Chain A
Amino acid sequence: MTRLFLAAALATATLTYAENFALRGVTVHPISAAEVPNAVLVVTGDRIAGLGAKFPIPKGHKIIDAKGLHVYPGMIDSASVLGLSEIGSVRETQDIEELGDFNPQLRTMIAVNPGSEHIPVSRAGGITASLVVPAGGVIGGQAAMMHLDGWTWEEMTVAPTAAMQMRLPSQETTVTGRAFGVGRRPYTEVRRRYEEQMQQVRLFFEQARAYQARKANPGLGFKPDLRMEAMVPVLAGKTPLIMLAPRERAIRDALAFAEREKVRIVLAGVREVDPFLEEIARRKIPVVLPDLYQVPLEEDASIDDPLDLPARLAKAGIAFAFGSYGIERPRNLPFQAANAVGHGLPHEAAIRALTLGAAEIWGLADRMGSLDPGKFADLILTDGDPLEPRTQIRQMWILGKPVSLDNRHTRLYEQYRKR
């Protein structure tokens, strides 16, 4: 109770401008290096200035005594729709899926609603940034890395196009219906539709390549095409495709596709990945884990499925990150990571996948994901292991600014506690 009160008090002290500060007496977990107990961490402006057991605190820095507490980099959700959706059952609150099959030109960041209640709720769970991923059709649009703080989407944006969302046409014959029902579509029909759609996909990539070539030598009358323009960094290998591929054949398709089109991919939501572990590791393809709160994939699946998946990926030497795939559960990502630890993933690997590992996958490790001088001061201050619910998150900074942990839930809690 008192602890919570403390957190609330800190929260109300939120500043609207960055104030230079230093944490003292804190155990620093840089992720990029071993933890440093009873240390100093200095934040100047929006960046980390330095850290160490004896790191000198420069002038003009407010000293925060954090004895017995721990500081970690803020955690990153590598697949959410934060800000694109508010209430699951209400169509009007959804901005996730656009019409049409090929929409690489869509810029997700501009639709992220900074006023969404889900943003502060997720922050309270220790999440400071998220890759916001659209969906729909084959290419759903540009996935943006967003800070979970900012007055506007502009202020929130870390990287407008950290990835391009893509999903190959489905070959799934199982259709999940309403009210616990599951239906089946005839395989031949599914297969035929799939082949037709794949034809379209190949055609689209051919067109994009033709455009890329024309653009390299633009003749008279060359007219930029917004859709094709958006594909250029993908074809150039600058922007990876984030491809949702849960089942075996979807993974196989995605791997074959990446090879054929010579594009970089990040596999997301993989479940039946075991036959490809060696290949994925060899080709250095990163993976965004599926929502680990899903049920075992089939009746005969082990009771540990998919909780033991991260351990298998780690063992195979595959880089991975955690993703919540929604709005409701980003705050549970550290708990999912803990479940993975319970099922064989080393603890350091779990925390890394929530921080530096994620930043590396999205090409942002130069500015976020670990506590290194020059990086964003995205920090969480905890009273223990950040993966355990027993631990309280005491304070958060994003870009060096103390950020409120107050949210819709704490507000309702405080309000009705007094009733």
Chain B
Amino acid sequence: MNRRLFLSSLALAPLPAAAPGAILIKNAKILTVTKGRVDGSLLIRDGRIAALGTEVLTPADAATIDAGGGYLMPGIVDCHAHVGADAINEGTISVSSMVRIEDVLAPDDVQIYRGLAAGVTTSNVLHGSANTIGGQCSVVKMRWGKTAAQMVFAGARPGIKFALGENVKRSGSGANVGVALRYPATRMGVEDVVREAFNDARAYQRQRDEYQTRVAKGERVLPPRRDWKLDPLVEVLEGKRLVHAHCYRADEILMLLRAAEEFGFRIRTLQHGLEAYKVAKEIAKHGAGVSTFADSWSYKIEAYDAIPYNAALCLRAGVLTSLNTDAPVTQQRHLLQDAAKTLRYGQLTDDEALSLITINPARQLMIDDRVGSLEVGKDADLVLTDKHPLSLYAKVQKVFIDGEIFFDREQDVRDRAERAARRQALLEKLKPAPPPAQKKGAR
């Protein structure tokens, strides 16, 4: 709720209980994203949306918040961020599927608060793009002030990061001075790493199955070694773990789709996928989603054909499409603005534009039964803005997660002076003692 809260209070409960009781938010323009706009009220009960409509009966026990004619929209979902983690890349090897972002979640990272203040309530915290098969990602709710375990989006499908193209072959090219060469150095090598990894995963899977069979037959056999690197890849093969693949060029996108199909699994999302519009048909047919930037381009060769129409073209081709930040590469506070840009580039409708940062990324992460739109029964993850959220003049006023207020602009503004004063006082108090005057003759 307030940034200081984190320092003083630490809930010991293993999982956040949804805020109990009822809150009625009235006098709001409710943008449900999936079911049009409703001017009226929204009732939160036990952390869920209990009712919404032009007329909602106020329960006797409900606290009331007057939205003052502001807009209420679903909490924003960022399908690709590197916030709230103490490590991002295990870039030493080409397959680092054993590493987990969940192991290094950092609930004290101020970027969580900043994202939250911009209306982001859920982030897919991803491993970096230094290697072909990166680490396991973690879907979190931006519960600033809570513990790492309480950040985790309980029940979200596990995922893993893949990466293709320039970043992963950089370590093979010698471009990173002082860093040992690392296979692969080409896009051919990248495909090879993917296929080899899944070839191994299959062999490992067979070894495990064979062990089970032999044990079932009563044979005396040594158990196979549990390999934390191959386990998640087997889960990918079994469809239990979602693949989020960083990619840029159309050729490598197609390569990955085909490599996955060869091994019988699906790519869940193509992350960035700046040239996805060139192979949108193939992507739609495979069933992958695309999570892209609004208008970043030309910062490297593989981004030279990036166009701000990518999201619109993919969406029109029937691809499940979202916008992401790659925060801190671009900022979560600009996600609404990024969505608004699709009104210009491709002329999406308001609902389509909002869907790119709410229900679509929620679908991509397979958490759309819980978040991504304002519907009865869903988590009360809400963002209240003073103006239409797709106007750049709008500011986020309040953010709710599971019915609890986690950001309140008025509170934030009130706290600023007090925080600055506290910092100044500590700077004075902890000022290092001036160095002792040098004695004569001392050396």
A→B interface (CB under 8 Å):
1, 3-4, 86-90, 117-118, 178-180, 293, 295-296, 299-300, 302-303, 327-328, 331-332, 335, 338-339, 341-343, 387-392, 408-410, 412-413, 416-417, 419
Q: Is the CB of A179 within 8 A of B89?
A: yes
Closest B residue by C-beta to A1: B347
A387 touches B313 (CB 8 A): no
How far is it, in angstroms, between the C-alpha of A1 and the C-alpha of B118 when the chains are bound?
30
The size of the chain B interface, using a CB distance under 8 A, is 54
**Residues of B close to A409: CB separation below 8 A:** 297, 307-309, 345
Chain B residues 302-356 with CB under 8 Å of chain A are 304-305, 307-309, 313, 328, 330-331, 333-334, 337, 340-341, 343-347
A contact face: mostly helix, strand, loop, or mixed: loop
Which residues from 144 to 166 on chain B have a C-beta closer than 8 Å to any C-beta of chain A? Answer: 166
- Is the C-beta of B296 less than 8 angstroms from some C-beta in chain A? yes
CB distance from A107 to the nearest CB of B (A): 25
Q: Is B44 an interface residue (CB 8 A)?
A: no
Are B300 and A343 in contact, CB atoms less than 8 angstroms apart?
A: no
Please tell me if the beta carbons of B392 and A118 are within 8 angstroms of each other in the complex: no
B298 to chain A: which residues have CB within 8 Å?
86-88, 117-118, 327-328
* Interface pair A390/B333, CB less than 8 Å apart: no
With beta carbons under 8 angstroms apart, the residue of A87, A180, A328 that contacts B296 is A328
Which 6 A-B pairs give the minimum distances between C-beta atoms? A338-B392, A88-B299, A89-B300, A413-B309, A409-B307, A389-B340
User: With contacts A89-B300, A296-B114, A389-B392 known, is A419 near B278, CB below 8 A?
Assistant: yes
* Residues on A with beta carbons closer than 8 Å to the beta carbon of B307: 408-409, 412-413
With A and B bound together, what is the CA distance between A409 and B312 in angstroms?
13
The prevalent SS among residues of B at the interface is: loop
Say yes or no: B392 contacts A387, CB within 8 Å. yes
Q: How far is the CA of A391 from the CA of B347 in the complex (A)?
A: 10
Smallest CB separation, B62 vs chain A (Å): 30
- Contact check, A180 vs B393: say whether CB atoms are below 8 A apart: no
Please tell me which one of the listed residues A118, A328, A335, A416 contacts residue B313 in the complex, with CB atoms under 8 A apart. A416
B117 engages A295 (CB within 8 Å): no
Query: Please, how many angstroms separate the alpha-carbon atoms of A157 and B212 in the complex?
Result: 77
Contacts of A3 in B (CB 8 A): 347
Query: B299 contacts A335, CB within 8 Å?
Result: no
Query: Contacts A338-B393, A387-B392 hold; do A89 and B347 have CB atoms under 8 A apart?
Result: no
Query: Contacts of B328 on A, CB cut-off 8 Å?
Result: 295
Contact digits for B231-244, partner A, Cβ 8 Å, 1 yes 0 no: 00000000000000
* A299: chain B residues within 8 A (beta carbon): 110
Neighbour of A87 across the interface among B113, B300, B340, CB < 8 A: B300
* B278 with A390: CB separation less than 8 A: no
Contact A303 B113 (CB under 8 A): yes
User: Which of these, A1, A87, A339, A408, contacts B392 with CB under 8 Å?
Assistant: A339
For residue A90, which residues in chain B have a CB less than 8 angstroms away from its CB?
300-301
Per-position 1/0 for B80-105, Cβ under 8 A of A? 00100000110100000000000000
Smallest Cβ-Cβ distance to B277: which chain A residue:
A416
CB closest chain-B residue, reference A299 = B110
The chain B residues found within 8 Å of chain A, CB to CB, are 82, 88-89, 91, 110, 113-114, 117-118, 128, 130, 166, 176, 277-278, 280-281, 295-301, 304-305, 307-309, 313, 328, 330-331, 333-334, 337, 340-341, 343-347, 390-395, 412, 416, 419-420, 423
Give the distance in Å from the alpha carbon of A300 to the alpha carbon of B426 in the complex.
14
Contact B392 A412 (CB under 8 A): no
Contact A390 B340 (CB under 8 A): yes
17 A-B pairs with C-beta separation under 8 A: A88-B299, A89-B299, A89-B301, A90-B301, A117-B298, A293-B334, A296-B114, A300-B423, A331-B295, A338-B393, A339-B337, A343-B395, A388-B340, A408-B307, A412-B305, A413-B313, A416-B278
- Chain B residues within an 8 Å CB radius of A295: 114, 328, 331
Residue of A nearest to B302 (CB): A89
Residues of A within 8 A of B110 (CB): 299
Q: Which of chain A's residues have a CB closer than 8 A to the CB of B91?
A: 179
- Collect the chain B residues with CB atoms within 8 Å of residue A390's CB: 340, 343-344, 390-391
The answer to whether A389 touches B412, judged by C-beta atoms less than 8 angstroms apart, is no
CB distance from A92 to the nearest CB of B (A): 11
User: What separation, in Å, do the CA atoms of A335 and B344 have in the docked complex?
Assistant: 12
Contact A417 B313, beta carbon cutoff 8 Å: yes
Question: B residues within 8 A CB of A300?
Answer: 419-420, 423
| A-side contacts of B309, CB under 8 Å | 409-410, 412-413
B299 to nearest A CB, angstroms? 4
Contact indicator A341/B281 (Cβ below 8 Å):
no
When C-beta atoms are compared, the residue in chain A nearest to B344 turns out to be A389
Partner of A341, one of B82, B114, B390, B393: B393
Residues of B within 8 A of A331 (CB): 295
Question: Chain B's nearest CB lies how many Å from the CB of A157?
Answer: 24
Q: Chain B CB within 10 Å — which of A295, A389, A408 has the most?
A: A389
CB distance from A7 to the nearest CB of B (A): 11
In the complex where A293-B331, A293-B334, A335-B337 touch, is A87 in contact with B114 (Cβ < 8 A)? no
**Complex contacts, B330 vs chain A, CB 8 Å:** 293
**Which residues of chain A come closer than 8 Å to B331, judged between CB atoms?**
293, 295
**Cα-based distance from A419 to B391 in the complex (angstroms):** 32
